[in-house]
A and B are shown apart, each in its own frame.
Chain A
Amino acid sequence: DIQMTQSPSSLSASVGDRVTITCQASQDISNYLNWYQQKPGKAPKLLIYDASNLETGVPSRFSGSGSGTDFTFTISSLQPEDIATYYCQQYDNSLTFGGGTKVEIK
């Protein structure tokens, strides 16, 4: 089974800060990597697919990069509405989610 390790598990940043989350796969998954946002009490929402492609309607301050085993998710300028937990998810072999990163405002 492919394991996905996300870090950090939580972070606190100020409005306007650049926020970076990393996700590491236990084996090469090419670019078969998606990122989701989950706000409290809500279902998750797909933000980025295939490691770097922005889903329609998602603000351009969100971006993703990486391939192989190492991936990065970035919020270029943190906004109050970005408070949420973010998950990576691989689909090279079935699906596996990372443990999540809770983003809070400082």
Chain B
Amino acid sequence: QVQLVESGGGVVQPGGSLRLSCAASGFTFSSYGMHWVRQAPGKGLEWVAFIRYDGSNKYYADSVKGRFTISRDNSKNTLYLQMNSLRAEDTAVYYCAKDDGVVPAACLYWGQGTLVTVSS
């Protein structure tokens, strides 16, 4: 069965950096696009980024463009999110999610999330 396990969350100061990881299993990771979606405490869902199955195309929300970088290592079945210049408004639970297609469409399977807190 599909399993996605996020890690790397924690407390970071404003302006700092953090890298999240998402370990995938139960499917052929190198064949599917992947997303990062976040949810601030008590708020709704916000899509963050998508990467094609082969890493050749990446899409970002305007709110993170230029600060966050999505990447993947298909040899390790792992998805990453490098987050730089972090702001208080980036505080959220970050989920990785599996898509079914070549372009971003739907989040079919989700991890349990990892909490990022940006605070001094």
User: Taking beta carbons and an 8 Å cutoff, which residues of A are in contact with B?
Assistant: 1, 32, 34, 36, 38, 43-46, 49, 55, 85, 87, 89, 91, 94-100
Contact = CB atoms under 8 A, between A and B. Distances in A.
Given A94-B47, A97-B44, A100-B44, A89 B106 contact: yes
Given A43-B111, A95-B50, A99-B44, A34 B106 contact: yes
A44 B59 CA distance: 21
A91 B99 CA distance: 12
Interface string B39-65: 000001111001000000001011000
Question: By CB atoms of chain B within 10 A, which of A45, A94, A100 has the most?
Answer: A94
Nearest to A42: B112
Helix, strand, loop or mixed for chain B's interface?
loop
Nearest to A95: B47
A26 B57 CA distance: 26
Contact of A97 (B46, B111, B112, B113): B46
Interface string B56-95: 0001011000000000000000000000000000000001
Contacts of A91: 104-106
A46 B106 CA distance: 8
B61 A94 contact: yes
A34 B62 CA distance: 21
Contacts of B108: 46, 55
B95 A87 contact: no
A27 B35 CA distance: 23
